[in-house]
Chain A
């Protein structure tokens, strides 16, 4: 079996791993790098539970082949906090009870971060469409939307 050697940056660190050409980046993150925050909800890019940032853009890691990550700058949920300081989104999600089972939460946090990075002052509708690529079955989205709104306020004021 031949494996491809991939070098990239994950959460600010230079990392490398071996992978097969048929593996997804999601598989590589979870199985080679031990970063299990990104989840497989569908494997077909429909649920967003595997969302990560690749070179600043939100991506479904289940739809990227692992070797495609060569040279990329990747952020997973494990890289959102700064040491013991949570990202404002992580904090508002907790305070706003924006998670019930929590399995979609990593994907939503990164999608919301990508949204607010690009549009710091979104309307409720813009938030809803910005997060339409992430499925949640527990919350009905209400508290997620409110938490993103609160984080936007905090980030603007920061």
Chain B
């Protein structure tokens, strides 16, 4: 680890205790959503659209309804119609079509039956009549003049009310005078790029069990990154008050942004309501790939101008993101993510466009990987043209506090320079490139978010503590909550039990996304501990018969010079005070909640050594290093895990992963066999270097780390391939057939 400021000495922050929930996970006891079963439960299955775009003329469920074991069938008619401006209107249509199928795999109807097989058989027997509509299947088709509409309910955001459109956003960012700077530049490099859809690839398919009682209240167990959002979305889609939905988060088997929305829960809730039985729905892998949100596809053009001494003076870009059948802001976010360099002159023309494919969902740092692939590839070309070391070029231009981000706001304290310096002196970067291999590097950025979190800390009368939060644990965060509480209270980390609590047991907490859990929920935990410490001091004052302002809290104990007579006084430990909780006023418990401001961005710098087999186009990654600014690493093993996981997802995105659609908009490779994610034999060890430039807005300096790791890998790999072969790959994935074709074109 590379700490850059006077690092405080911590007792638990920065240590690597075995995570509290780990034992259950290694003995097979941990309960994921599909492991949950309720007595009398039915099973749900879907009838999905076989067409990429079609009007639903009629749905005939009569045959299906009479099939063995079938208890209920629902369609879009079983849900209220939300106002077009309702924030969950698109979600409501996505979970069950309302008159129009917008993509192959769009849910048309759902069946509840005694067994999964019976439900599937009945779902297949539902007879739907369609009127085919023209399907938009690419960014180019979507943007073409006079193109048919992919979704007739979509209107362009941030624009005066107008006609429906295929454009969800049309936005520009700019600063300075790009044309003047480009004219004056000594070197100008321009390239075009394209990126296919990729899936988050979580190993656990979506699953839920919902039990709607006769009182109209639904209890939900589900796989989700945010159970409070599951509650809101489910309630909104059903037209219910939020208090009618209780959501308990099961352990989640991966999300990476893909489980920040709902697909199953409102359907299961309605089926349960109609049948009076619990309903369990588990997606198949094929359904996950055909009908849940991949990352957007994108086309980008990036032009960068530089002076001969390596100053990047201007960037001019065009980006179009295809986000499936419902609108979002991917294009704008992609441009906003360009934040690594001073670049005094900037112009980005951005578009978000719709296609008749599944609604996109976030995949770690949404939109940033595409933008960084393009920008970092062009920066690499600039370095080559100028004969400059790529790390040195980036150091010369690296954004620091006060430099403007693309969205206009100056950076707060950030650690890109520190990360570049750490890479520069790293064992990897200072060692020779192996024979027959070549090296590439790139940088990445993500904003990270704050948003709302709550935490409750309850002290038991034996001095142990329970920390309740509402942040589903997708990568070890509950261990970090325990560590922060232990540090603050001054107690052993194993005397703290971290719990991820349901929507009725803890205050509102936003989704575990945006790298926010350790930052924002951590802040809430620390605040709750601070509140508890004030209470403990008050109780200690009673026990010691002193004034409360004569009590201080040191190393897990109350101490008062006025107590015990000796200098410094006799400390009263947390456990000793907790044992007297009833006598001194009652149970010791504290709650804190906040809308966390000041999330600190996290920069990353990656480097790869790889070799290219020029006969097959296969790339072998021989060595990979990920440097990233964590602010302060609460649990370094889980910070390292985020860096490694993001890197490998990026390597898969770079080298192999893509959605292959046929001419009818049907995915050809909807299985893990043909949608090939990296396996252990594809990879080397992933070396990590944690840089710590503390974020002043968090009591321990935390910056979120979960997302940035996926931003640099594609350009890192592309830059290394270019160094190895002289070929600049601009289309993702850089898979063997495409690389081979490019090598053949290059010649020997």
For B641, the chain A residues whose CB sits under 8 A away are 97, 100, 138-139, 143
Q: How large is the interface on A (under 10, 10 to 19, 20 to 34, 35 or more residues)?
A: 35 or more
* CB atoms of B683 and A128 under 8 A apart: yes
One digit per residue, 1 when the CB lies within 8 angstroms of any chain B CB and 0 when it does not, for chain A 115-136 equals 0000000001101110111111
The number of residue pairs between A and B whose CB atoms lie closer than 8 Å in the complex comes to 178
Question: Is B680's CB under 8 angstroms from A77's CB?
Answer: no
Closest to B646 in A: A140
Asked if A80 is at the interface (CB within 8 A of a chain B CB), the reply is: yes
Question: Is B256 touching A137 in the complex (CB atoms < 8 A)?
Answer: yes
Cβ of B425 within 8 Å of any chain A Cβ, yes or no, is no
Q: Which of A86, A103, A144 contacts B204 (CB 8 A)?
A: A103
Q: Which residues of A contact B645 (CB under 8 A)?
A: 100, 137-140
B254 proximity list for chain A (CB < 8 A): 101, 103, 137-138
Q: 8 Å CB contacts to A: which residues of B20-57?
A: 21-23, 25-32, 34-35, 37
Tell me, in angstroms, the Cα distance from A86 to B641 when the chains sit together: 23
| Residues of A contacting B27 in the complex (Cβ-Cβ under 8 angstroms) | 37, 77-78, 80-81, 86, 90
CA distance A41 to B283 in the complex (A): 10
Instruction: Output the residue of B22, B638, B680 with the most chain A CB within 10 A.
Output: B680
Decide if B672 touches A47 in the complex (CB within 8 Å): yes
Q: Distance (Å) between the CB of A17 and the closest chain B CB?
A: 15
B409 at interface, CB cutoff 8 A: no
Q: A97-B476, A142-B644 are in contact. Are A137 and B203 (CB under 8 A)?
A: yes
Instruction: For the complex formed, measure the closest distance between the CB of A18 and the CB atoms of chain B, giving whole angstroms.
Output: 13
**Residues in A whose Cβ lies below 8 Å from that of B671:** 42, 44, 46
Produce 1/0 per residue, B2-26, CB < 8 A to A: 0000000000000010110111011
Cβ contacts B447-490/A at 8 Å (1 or 0 each): 00000000000000000000000000011100000000000000
Interface string of B631-673 (1 = CB under 8 A from A): 0000001101100110111000000000000000000000111
The answer on a CB contact under 8 Å between B28 and A78 is yes
Contact in complex: B285, A44 (CB < 8 Å):
yes
Across-interface contacts of B159 in A (CB, < 8 A): none
Q: Give complex CA distance A70, B385 in Å.
A: 68
Residues of B within 8 A of A146 (CB): 685
A76 in contact (CB, < 8 A): yes
For B683, the closest partner residue in chain A by CB is: A141
Interface residues of A: mostly helix, strand, loop or mixed? Answer: loop
A145 at the interface (CB under 8 A from B): yes
What's the least CB distance linking B22 to chain A, in Å? 5
A103 touches B203 (CB 8 A): yes
B251 at the interface (CB under 8 A from A): yes
Residue in B253, B644, B672, B686 whose CB lies within 8 Å of A42: B672
CB of B117 within 8 A of chain A?
yes
Contact call A49/B203, Cβ cutoff below 8 A? yes
Residue A22 at the B interface, CB < 8 A? yes
In the complex, the answer to whether A44 meets B32 with C-beta atoms within 8 Å is no
| Contact indicator A100/B475 (Cβ below 8 Å) | yes
Q: Which of B16, B204, B251, B637: most chain A CB closer than 10 A?
A: B204
* Residues B389-411 near A (CB distance < 8 A): none
Chain A residues within an 8 Å CB radius of B683:
128, 140-142
CB <8 Å contact, A47 and B203 = yes
Which one of B21, B117, B685 lies within 8 Å of A22 (CB-CB)?
A: B117
Q: Which residues of A contact B282 (CB under 8 A)?
A: 40
- Measuring CB to CB, which residues of chain A are less than 8 angstroms from any residue of chain B? 20, 22, 30-31, 35-44, 46-47, 49, 76-78, 80-81, 86, 90, 93-97, 99-106, 109, 124-125, 127-129, 131-146
Instruction: Give me 14 other A-B pairs in contact (C-beta within 8 A), A41-B205, A42-B672, A140-B648 excluded.
Output: A38-B28, A42-B285, A43-B285, A44-B672, A76-B28, A93-B26, A97-B638, A100-B641, A103-B251, A127-B680, A129-B681, A132-B679, A135-B677, A146-B685
